[in-house]
């Protein structure tokens, strides 16, 4: 069986997109930390707007799944590289 050809990517663009993503994620983390440090989870649940909370939770879960896949690929690559030595 012949492996499928790899899709050509613009590596420079990919690196720039990742850098932008890292900055935006840091900004989101700072915003979440401000809320976390100022309010208890009980107050957030009691007084926060449900739809806003549900959207934020869904976004966080999606990001977690995506970066968990990336982390697994990194670990797989590192394991493969360590096996070659």
Mean pLDDT of 24-38: 98
39: burial class by Cβ within 10 Å (0-12, 13-18, 19+)?
A: middle
The per-residue pLDDT for range 33-67, each reduced to its tens digit, is 999 999 999 999 999 999 999 999 999 999 999 99
Average pLDDT value for the chain:
93
Judged against a pLDDT cut of 80, whether residue 69 lies above it is answered with yes
- What ranges do the domains of the chain cover? 24-84
Residues with Cβ within 8 Å of residue 53, at least 6 apart in sequence:
44, 45
The candidate with the shortest Cα–Cα distance to 35, out of 65, 18, 57, is 57
What's the confidence (pLDDT) of residue 28? Answer: 97
Q: How much is the pLDDT for 3?
A: 60
Give dist(CA 61, CA 55) in Å, integer: 10
């Amino acid at each position: 069986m012949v492996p499928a050809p790899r899709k050509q990517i613009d590596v420079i663009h990919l690196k720039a997109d990742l850098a932008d993503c890292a900055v935006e994620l840091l900004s989101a983390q700072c915003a979440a930390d401000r809320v976390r440090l100022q309010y208890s989870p009980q107050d957030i649940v009691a007084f926060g707007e449900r739809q806003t909370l549900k959207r934020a939770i869904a976004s966080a879960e999606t990001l977690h799944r995506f970066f968990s896949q990336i982390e697994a690929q990194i670990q797989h690559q590192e394991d493969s590289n360590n096996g070659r030595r």
